[in-house]
Each structure stands twice: as C-alpha cells, then as structure tokens.
Amino acid sequence: MARLILHNVCKQFSEQRVINNLNLSIEPGSFVALLGPSGCGKSTILRMLAGFEPVSSGEIRHGERCLSSEQQHVPTEARNFGMVFQSYALWPHMTVAENVGYPLKIKKIKGVEKEQRIKDALSVVELEDYANRLPSQLSGGQRQRVALARSLVTEPDVVLFDEPLANLDRHLRATMEATFRAFHKRTKATIVYVTHDQSEAMSLADHIAVLHKGQLVQWATPEELYNTPKNTWLANFIGRGSVLKVAAIEPLQYVKTDTLHQIVQMVNASAATSSILIRPHDIQFVEENVDALSVQVRTCIFRGERYDVELILNDGQALLAYSEYPMIEGSKHYVRLIQAWALEEDV
C-alpha cells in the first residue's frame, strides 16, 4: 500500500483560485477527513484525487506513481480508487448484486470470481440477503451500504467519500458511522472523507485536514484539533468554548490558572491584543475567594445531561460553562479557570 501525496496542489477556475498550495501526506490505511465550511474547496480536492479534475499546478502522487500534474493526468478509471457519493448513484433498474458488480463488469472480471467478490462485498455491509432487490426496495441507509459495497468490490487502495451521510437522518447517520468504522477496519483501505460536519469528522477520522477558503488551516488528529487549535477561526469552528480577547500573550501554549486569571482580569480595550480559548469543562464554580473570578449568569439552558450557562466577566466578555444544576439568570458567582489555550490571530 502506498502513501497518497499532495504536493503544492493549486486549483484555479478561470480567474478564481479555489485551492492554494495544498500539501498533505496521507499514510496508507489511514482514515482522513477533509473538513471545512461550504465552499472551502473540499469537493474540489476530492475530485482532483478521483481524476475528475486536473490540477492547475503541483502534483498528486500515489506512492511513486504521479497521478496528476501540469504535464500528466491519469484518468479516473486507471486509478483504481473507490468512490461513494452523497446521492448513492445506484442504477435503479439493476438489482443490488448487479449494482455492486458493475465495476467488475468494466474491469472484465467474470464468473466465479465475480460472484465471490460481490458476495464478500455485500457481507462487509451486511446486505447478503438483499442481493436480488432493486434500489427502490431499500431504505436510504441500505442504499448507501450498497454504494459502499460497490466502492470496495474492485479492492481499491483508496476509497473517496463525498459527504456520504448528508442525505440521511440523524439516527441513521450514527448507525452508518459504525458501518464506516467497520468497513475501514475490515478493508484497511486508505479513506479520504469529505464532510462539513465536525462531529462526523472527529468520530471517524484519525487525521483531519481543516480547510478555509482553499487554504489548509491545520492538519492534525481530532484530539489535537480540539485541544490545540491553531487560530481563532479554528477555535470557533471546532468544539464548544469561548474565545476571549486578553492582554498580549505568546500564542500556541497552555496558560494555567494564576497567569490566566491575571491576563483575563488585566483586560482593557488597548491591552487586548491576543486571544485565548477556554473550553467549558475547564471552568469550575467555586466559593468566593481572593483568587477566584467574579461572573454573572446571563442565560442558563437545560441540555439534558447538564445546563449550558453563559457567564459574563467583569469586562463584559462572555464565557460558556457547564453546570449540573440550574443557575438563576442575573445571579453572581465565582469561577476558577483551570487552563486556556493561547491562539494565533487569523491572517
């Protein structure tokens, strides 16, 4: 199995540059998510990997093999990549088995081998008993599983997913996430998965590329992204928490309680040149004491397992905290901040 490499990849549509100098090195067998808001360029990257779009400059390599550059373009059918789209793209007049076997027909794989591969692929997605049904006789989740089975029947090294859960309801999405996890474990294929849903990316991928306006903002594990986001845009995009303006502080470091309280309290408009991220679970409610920060409750919302409490600091900035108990709006309290992460400013 080979590494998938994007080296200085740029993509331009007439005057508009939509991907800017993208560099990624994707380990064989890893599950990678391309995550970002609508229009950031995720699908364009996937389409270039699939071979539907040439690169404008730079290079895409699979191991030693150049798939795409200004001089060269290996067509889609010669890449042996599996693909799963949001719309399933099944043939309505073909049975499940015929749909799954379609890529084998193109590759001229016939007879017993064809039958065995279809059977194996259907067994991975637990649809062996549905082989003779038509797509119209299946639920949305089952159709997506047929599309999954079809993507792996040719035993590809790489499978590309373009928002495959976008058309499914919330309950089915959770079930399908489990199917994708099992699929990845069983096939050991490299997966590149496009989504704008951060919780989907965080729960499935072992590495995430976060994109914003065609630019790679951070390439990291889900834990790294959550704990140490690079800049204020990313901190607002990933997970829940509060980005506070504070006095100047060196970015990309943790700030612990004593220093943290100092810089939060020192704020005045001219000194506030840096930003920090405080996650709700790093805020503790405490008894009044000289080291604590005083806050006022602005809102308190019941969320089932806890309450979301919006607190206001003395300088008027808002802080999201969690509480096991309801808190009265307008009431005054004291908090201890355990830690914060210092952010780079957006460019």
Ligand X SMILES: Nc1ncnc2c1ncn2[C@@H]1O[C@H](COP(=O)(O)OP(=O)(O)OP(=O)(O)O)[C@@H](O)[C@H]1O
Task: Give the contacts of 140 (CB within 8 A, at least 6 positions apart).
Answer: 167, 168, 169, 172
Q: Does 280 bind ligand X (CB under 6 A)?
A: no
Stretch that binds ligand X, among 36-44, 94-102, 152-160, 312-320 (CB under 6 A): 36-44
| Closest CB 61 distance from ligand X, rounded Å | 21
Binding flag, residue 52, ligand X (CB under 6 A): no
Q: 29 or 39, CB closer to ligand X?
A: 39
Strands of 71-229 (E only): list them: 81-85, 158-162, 190-195, 207-212, 215-220
- In the bound state with ligand X, the residue whose beta carbon lies nearer, of 44 and 232, is 44
Q: Is 140 exposed, middle or buried (0-12, 13-18, 19+ CB in 10 A)?
A: middle
Contacts with ligand X, 187-226, as mask; x by CB under 6 A: ---------x------------------------------
CA angle 196, 188, 92 (to 5 degrees): 65
Among 26, 44, 125, 342, binds ligand X (CB under 6 A): 44
For residue 152, give Cα distances in angstroms to 59, 86, 127: 26, 16, 14
Length of the chain: 347
Site for ligand X in 135-174 (CB under 6 A): none
Closest CA relative to residue 231, chosen from 214, 243, 247: 243
Nearer to ligand X, 38 or 289 (CB): 38
CB of 313 to ligand X, least distance (A): 35
Shortest Å distance, C-beta 35 to ligand X: 9
Binding-site size, ligand X (CB under 6 A): 11
> Residue 298 and residue 206: Cα distance in Å, rounded?
38
Binding mask 2-21 for ligand X (x = CB under 6 A): -----------x----x---
Among candidate residues 26, 25, 30, the one with its CA nearest the CA of residue 7: 25
Binding residue for ligand X, selected from 28, 39, 140, 280, defined by CB under 6 A:
39
Contacting residues toward ligand X, per CB under 6 A: 13, 18, 36, 38-44, 196
